[in-house]
Amino acid sequence: MAAEIMGVPDRYRRYDAEEPIDACPNCGQSSRLRRHDRRVVWPKITHNLAPLFDPYAMEEVWECLLCKKSMIIVRTFEAGENQEREPVAASILYPVLPPKTLQDEAPAAVTSLYREASVAENAGALRGAAALYRAAVEQLLTDLGIPDGKLGRRIEQLADRGVDVDVVTSFHEARLLGNWSLHDGVEFSPEEVSDVAELIVEATEELYVIPAKREEMRAARAARRTKDTPSTSG
């Protein structure tokens, strides 16, 4: 059977992608994948390889056409009236995805929660990831000296301090994602969880990285002025 070629699927769930829309987990480049093999790994069947009407899990082996390295994906399908249907979940068995992290300037406690959230996200535990990304925002507010209280009100205090409205909006996105996941049992799509993770990165850039760079430049200017100032001794 000829190997299939398709665009890299969005979060490795979609079958209908005609253009590269994501990155190879090995080389990180936008690419196309060639499927070499697939098999139903649950429930165990031997009579055929056709999609089932009952719930099932399919393991697939793909090769990136750029780096030539392989990836193994397991897709989970719910029961359905049609054999061809969209998976409800997908996870990468290989390669093991490294957790996302924050910039060096971010507080260590915030980075720790963020990395743990990313581990949960990579494992497909999306509600756990949402809760931990929310916790990272809470810890960040504590680091900024925002008093304890309702998270929504704490976030609004950032606006009172002149923080960019985009940062405030991003933190509200993380708050709602976590709240609905924890209290209402809502499971968001992988794309929504990933978007919130990226919003937190952008917020820490604004709150920590840019101020640190400005301070570094100020210190460098001061050092140059001190060096260039003529000595008055003697």
Helix boundaries (H) for the chain? 108-122, 126-143, 151-160, 165-183, 190-204, 210-228
Task: Kindly state the average pLDDT of the residues 104-120.
Answer: 95
Residues 73, 10 contacting (CB under 8 angstroms): no
Q: What is the pLDDT of residues 33-76, one digit of tens each?
A: 888 888 888 887 656 555 668 888 889 998 888 899 999 988 88
Domain extents in the chain: 4-94, 108-222
Spell out a b/e string for 180-196, using b for 16 or more CB atoms within 10 Å of the CB, else e. Answer: ebeeeeebbebeebbeb
Cα–Cα distance, 66 to 30 (Å, whole number): 9
Model pLDDT, residue 209: 94
Q: Which of 117, 13, 135 is nearest to 75 (CA)?
A: 13
The answer, as to whether pTM is greater than 0.75, is: no
Q: Which two tokens stand for residue 214?
A: 């400005």
Beta bridge partners of 72: 61, 94
Mean pLDDT for the chain?
A: 83
Task: Kindly state the average pLDDT of the residues 9-18.
Answer: 42
Q: Is the pLDDT of residue 118 over 50?
A: yes
Model pLDDT, residue 175: 95
Task: Kindly state the average pLDDT of the residues 157-172.
Answer: 91
Q: Is the pLDDT of residue 122 over 80?
A: yes
Cα–Cα distance, 133 to 141 (Å, whole number): 13
> What confidence tier does 193 reach under pLDDT thresholds 50, 70, 90?
very high
Task: Kindly state the average pLDDT of the residues 123-146.
Answer: 93
Model pLDDT, residue 22: 57
Q: Which of 19, 41, 45 is nearest to 30 (CA)?
A: 19
Specify the CATH class of 108-222 in words. Answer: mainly alpha
Residues 144, 168 contacting (CB under 8 angstroms): no
